[in-house]
Amino acid sequence: MSAGNVAVCIKNVSHQFGEAGEAQHVRALADTSLDIARGELLCLIGPSGCGKSTLLNIVGGLLPPTAGSVEVSGRALRGPVPREISFVFQESALFPWNTVIDNVRLGMLFQGVAQAERDKRAKRALEAVGLADFADHYPGQLSGGMRQRAALARALSLETGILLMDEPFGALDEQTRMILGEDLSVLLARAEKTIVFVTHSLGEAVFLADRVAVFSARPGTIKKIIDVDEPHPRKPSFVTSEKFTALRNELYALLHDEIRKAVLESASARGGDGRGNG
Partner 1 sequence: MARRTERMQRLASRAVQIGFLLALFVLWYLATNVWDVNHLLLPNPVAVWQQFLDVLRSGAYLPDLRVTASEFVAAFALAITSGSIVGYFVSRSRYLIRVFEPLFAGIFSVPIILFLPLYVLFFGLGMESKIALGATISFFPITLATIAGFGNVDRTLVTAARSMGASDYQMFRYVLVPAALPVIMGGLRIGFTIALLSILGSETIASLAGLGHHIVELAEDMDMSRMFAYIVFVVAMVALLNFAVSYLEARGRRHR
Question: 66 vs 98, which CB is nearer to partner 1?
Answer: 98
DSSP state of 211: E
Query: Rounded to the nearest whole angstrom, what is the least distance from the CB of residue 197 to partner 1 in the complex?
Result: 16
Query: Rounded to the nearest whole angstrom, what is the least distance from the CB of residue 163 to partner 1 in the complex?
Result: 11
Closest by Cα among 203, 222, 206 to 214: 222
Binding-site string for partner 1 from residue 19 to residue 38, where x marks contact by CB under 8 A and - marks none: --------------------
Compute CA distances 137 → 27, 41, 105, 148, 162, whole Å.
42, 31, 14, 14, 28
Alpha-carbon torsion angle 182, 53, 251, 255, nearest 10: -150
Residue 90's Cβ-count burial label (10 Å; 0-12, 13-18, 19+) is middle
| CA 255 to chain CA mean position, Å | 18
Question: 160 vs 199, which CB is nearer to partner 1?
Answer: 160
| CB distance 262 to 50 below 8 Å | yes
Q: How many residues bind partner 1 (CB under 8 A)?
A: 25
- Residue 260 has a CB neighbour count (10 Å cut-off) of 12
Pick from 17, 26, 40, 138 the residue near partner 1 by CB under 8 A: 138
| CB distance 103 to 180 below 8 Å | no
Binding-site string for partner 1 from residue 69 to residue 88, where x marks contact by CB under 8 A and - marks none: -----------x-xx-xxx-
Query: Rounded to the nearest whole angstrom, what is the least distance from the CB of residue 194 to partner 1 in the complex?
Result: 16
Question: 90 vs 176, which CB is nearer to partner 1?
Answer: 90
Residue 90 sits at φ, ψ, to 5 deg, of -60, -55
Query: Rounded to the nearest whole angstrom, what is the least distance from the CB of residue 265 to partner 1 in the complex?
Result: 26
Pick from 23, 24, 116, 140 the residue near partner 1 by CB under 8 A: 140
Q: Which helix (H) or strand (E) holds 51?
A: none
Question: 109 vs 264, which CB is nearer to partner 1?
Answer: 109
- Cα–Cα distance for residue pair 234/275, rounded to 1 Å: 51
Query: Rounded to the nearest whole angstrom, what is the least distance from the CB of residue 105 to partner 1 in the complex?
Result: 11
Compute CA distances 143 → 134, 147, 182, whole Å.
11, 6, 18
Question: 94 vs 213, which CB is nearer to partner 1?
Answer: 94
Pick from 62, 171, 226, 259 the residue near partner 1 by CB under 8 A: 62
Query: Rounded to the nearest whole angstrom, what is the least distance from the CB of residue 178 to partner 1 in the complex?
Result: 25
Among positions 154-213, residues that touch partner 1 (CB under 8 A) are 154, 158
Binding-site string for partner 1 from residue 88 to residue 127, where x marks contact by CB under 8 A and - marks none: -x-x-x-xxxxx------xx-xxx----------------
Q: Which alpha helices (H) appear in the chain, and where do they start and end?
A: 52-59, 100-110, 115-128, 144-157, 174-191, 202-208, 242-277
Question: 145 vs 219, which CB is nearer to partner 1?
Answer: 145
Interface residues with partner 1 (CB under 8 A) are 60, 62, 80, 82-83, 85-87, 89, 91, 93, 95-99, 106-107, 109-111, 138, 140, 154, 158
